[in-house]
Amino acid sequence: LEVWVGESNILHADLDAFYASVEQRDEPRLRGRPVVVGGGVVLAASYEAKAFGVRAAMGAAALRRLCPHAVVVPPRFAAYTAASRAVFEIFADTTPLVENVSIDEAFLDVGGLRRLAGRPEAIGARLRARVRQEVGLPITVGIARTRFLAKVAGRVAKPDGLLLVAPDREREFLEPLPVALLWGIGEATASRLAARGITTLGDAAALPVEVLAAMVGAPTARRLRAVAEGREIGRTGGGPRRRSIGSQNALGRRPRDAAQIDAILLAVVDRVMHRVREARCVGRTVVLRLRFDDYAAVTRSHSLPMATAHTATVLAVARALLAAARPIIEQRGLTLLGLALADVDGDTAVQLVLPWAAGAETDGLVQDASDAVRARFGSDALRPATLLGHRRG
Ligand SMILES: [Mg+2]
């Protein structure tokens, strides 16, 4: 096995607007139109919808304002899971070194394959063609020396593109990119930097690190410099599975109707997401646990394309999982409902994989405010209005 250290051997492969692309693939009348997957909250938006500023995690009001003619379709998680499986089979067929990042995204190390399969760029092009032909979906491939750079290359190449960053072009590639591309740089930090005329990684790299540290703090300043200079810091995904944060409600044995069960779900989601944000974490996998009258229990889970601390997003997924389990609930009687957010990670480590910050603004503000109230007055001080009249616990 030849190992080409220091070459651009890492592929980051990421399906474009995954859920929305599956809908457009399966329903020809949706092609070329702004498609939004979700209901109360946007889970995914097609590129036609993104052109109007629609982003994942956006609420219904913002969606109506930005893109009133969007075609909104309910999620079909079974179809997404099947598509994901087919794509990951092509990944596994490409190289044995696949690092799973999420349902629609992976890193592939193709460094040892040059003799067998050719150069990484050719491997990436072939991978894209196969996913298009065999699964019917657009996928973007970024190629670089490190996972971080491969991921950034993919972001620049999106949608439906391929971009290779050669090792000797890394600085040149990074310098014009916006500082907000870096995880740990939120909107507040980015606008603080912009006020001082620093908008690109190159601007940041040109400043003495002490000056930068005075603006954004030493750790962020060090990271900005390291990235701008092509030295990778931190992980971009993968690695060991992280812990989960969860909560559950025992319901007793009296029968509950769908509205009551939904109110309980809302309370549990609200509680879990409050703890997730309090721990300054984000998570990617929503796990719903149900126990029945006969003590049998089932678990249903779904992994989002990106990590979140957003209540409405997690609630939308939890509701879809609950709806899918409706027949078994009606048959057997629900006695316990639990929910966990798994694949949880610190929120600064994953901001790069959150392309939806813009859409979450308003909801984020409401969340921050309610978290602040609860921090001061206790966790019962504020609850979603739908929970009024329902006892907690
Ligand atoms: Mg994707």
Q: What is the DSSP string of 114-170?
A: HHHH--HHHHHHHHHHHIIIII---EEEEEESSHHHHHHHHHHH-SS-EEE--GGGH
| Residue 240 confidence (pLDDT) | 39
> Which alpha helices (DSSP H) does 27-146 contain, by range?
47-50, 60-66, 77-94, 114-117, 120-130
d(CA 267, CA 272): 9
| Residue 17 confidence (pLDDT) | 95
Q: How far is the CA of 80 from the centre of ligand 1 (A)?
A: 12
Q: How far is the CA of 195 from the centre of ligand 1 (A)?
A: 32
Q: How far is the CA of 272 from the centre of ligand 1 (A)?
A: 26
| Residue 181 confidence (pLDDT) | 76
3-state helix, strand, coil in the chain (%, to 5): 50, 20, 30
| Residue 225 confidence (pLDDT) | 79
Q: How far is the CA of 46 from the centre of ligand 1 (A)?
A: 11
Neighbours of 82 (CB within 10 A): 13
> Which residues share a beta bridge with 336?
250, 291
Identity of residue 379 = S
Model pTM above 0.85: no
Query: Which residues are the active-site residues?
Result: 105
- Using omega within 30 degrees of 0 as the cis cutoff, is the peptide bond preceding 68 cis? no
| Residue 21 confidence (pLDDT) | 98
Q: How far is the CA of 207 from the centre of ligand 1 (A)?
A: 34
| Residue 342 confidence (pLDDT) | 85
Q: By C-alpha distance, which of 67, 73, 27, 76 is closest to 49?
A: 67
Q: How far is the CA of 205 from the centre of ligand 1 (A)?
A: 29
d(CA 38, CA 302): 14
Q: How far is the CA of 290 from the centre of ligand 1 (A)?
A: 30
Q: How far is the CA of 224 from the centre of ligand 1 (A)?
A: 25
| Residue 299 confidence (pLDDT) | 84
| Residue 189 confidence (pLDDT) | 82
CB-neighbour burial class of residue 39 (10 A; exposed 0-12, middle 13-18, buried 19+): middle
21 close to 15: Cβ distance less than 8 angstroms? yes
Q: How far is the CA of 353 from the centre of ligand 1 (A)?
A: 9
**Mean pLDDT of each 10-residue bin along the chain, 393 residues long:** 62 96 97 91 93 89 94 92 93 87 88 77 96 97 90 92 92 87 74 89 86 85 76 44 76 84 91 85 88 82 83 89 87 90 67 33 51 59 54 42
| Residue 230 confidence (pLDDT) | 64
Q: How far is the CA of 168 from the centre of ligand 1 (A)?
A: 28
